[in-house]
């Protein structure tokens, strides 16, 4: 079965390493804050000016003035810092973010990402995504493997306007974990109960499958 949004976030959280500075984009990436593995410390950055973002608040913790880039209420971890967006983007553009997790409409086999615009649809603009994909040392994309119409989102070449070029290193979809390298998608893991054949059928770009592909593992 395909992963839920929460399970995708749980799998992405396994990529976090002790001491990382991590930017979480709007949507599924923000859920990663709830699943940081025990025993490690990471500083989660929100581009609107919060370094040290904690999990989503309980009802009695809600503070309407404490929000993330998606305008959702959040908590602040011990040692958090609050600053203006200019300083936040100086941190991003200066290469001080170890990992960025963001959603996408499409990713292609060269690691290009299209995440900000669908032609003829009303948009607010690219936002900070272009800075994040250019400035972070590592990029992980979360998205559904295919659209609601069954069309693959992992393509030979992106059809939508690009956010960044040759920047995506890894993709976690509702069906699989894939690495982008050497002009291809390499299948690393599959969602529990999902067959390799299904992933092949729903991947339009060049897909490399080597040996037995393990199922994703989740902590209890």
CATH T-level assignment (fold) for domain 5-209: Glutaconate Coenzyme A-transferase (3.40.1080)
Cβ-Cβ contacts under 8 Å for 160 (sequence gap 6 or more): 105, 106, 114, 117, 118, 119
Q: Residue 9 has which token pair?
A: 């976030």
- Look at residue 67 in the predicted model and tell me its pLDDT: 87
Using alpha carbons, select from 32, 25, 38, 27 the residue that is nearest to residue 11: 32
Alpha-carbon distance of 155 to 138, in angstroms, equals 20
What are the boundaries of each domain within the chain? Answer: 5-209
Is 6 considered catalytic here? no
Alpha-carbon distance of 33 to 10, in angstroms, equals 9
Q: pTM here?
A: 0.91
- Look at residue 83 in the predicted model and tell me its pLDDT: 93
**Element at 30 (helix H, strand E):** helix 28-31
Catalytic residue from among 15, 47, 189, 210 = 47
Using alpha carbons, select from 103, 100, 6, 125 the residue that is nearest to residue 47: 100
Mind listing the pLDDT tens digit of every residue in the chain (220 residues)?
799 999 999 999 999 999 999 998 888 998 898 899 999 999 999 888 999 988 889 889 999 988 887 788 989 988 999 999 899 999 999 999 999 999 999 999 999 999 887 766 766 666 678 888 888 889 999 999 999 999 999 999 999 999 999 999 999 999 999 999 999 999 999 999 999 999 999 999 999 999 999 999 987 6
């Amino acid at each position: 079965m395909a992963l839920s949004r929460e399970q995708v976030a749980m799998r992405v959280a396994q990529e976090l390493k002790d001491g990382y500075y991590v930017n979480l984009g709007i949507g599924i990436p923000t859920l990663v804050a709830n699943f940081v593995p025990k025993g490690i410390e990471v500083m989660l950055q929100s581009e609107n000016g919060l370094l040290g973002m904690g999990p989503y608040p309980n009802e009695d913790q809600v503070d309407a003035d404490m929000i993330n880039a998606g305008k959702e209420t959040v908590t602040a971890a011990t040692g958090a810092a609050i600053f203006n967006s200019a300083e936040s983007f100086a941190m991003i553009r200066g290469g001080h973010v170890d990992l960025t997790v963001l959603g996408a409409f499409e990713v292609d086999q060269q690691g290009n990402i299209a995440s900000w615009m669908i032609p003829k649809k009303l948009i607010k603009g690219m936002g900070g995504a272009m800075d994040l994909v250019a400035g972070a040392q590592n990029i992980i994309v979360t998205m559904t493997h295919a659209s609601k119409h069954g069309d693959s989102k992992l393509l030979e070449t992106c059809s939508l306007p690009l956010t960044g070029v040759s920047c995506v290193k890894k993709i976690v979809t509702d069906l699989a974990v894939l690495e982008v390298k050497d002009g291809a998608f390499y299948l690393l893991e599959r969602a529990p109960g999902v067959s390799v054949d299904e992933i092949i059928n729903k991947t339009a770009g060049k897909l490399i499958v080597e040996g037995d592909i393990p199922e994703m593992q989740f902590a209890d």
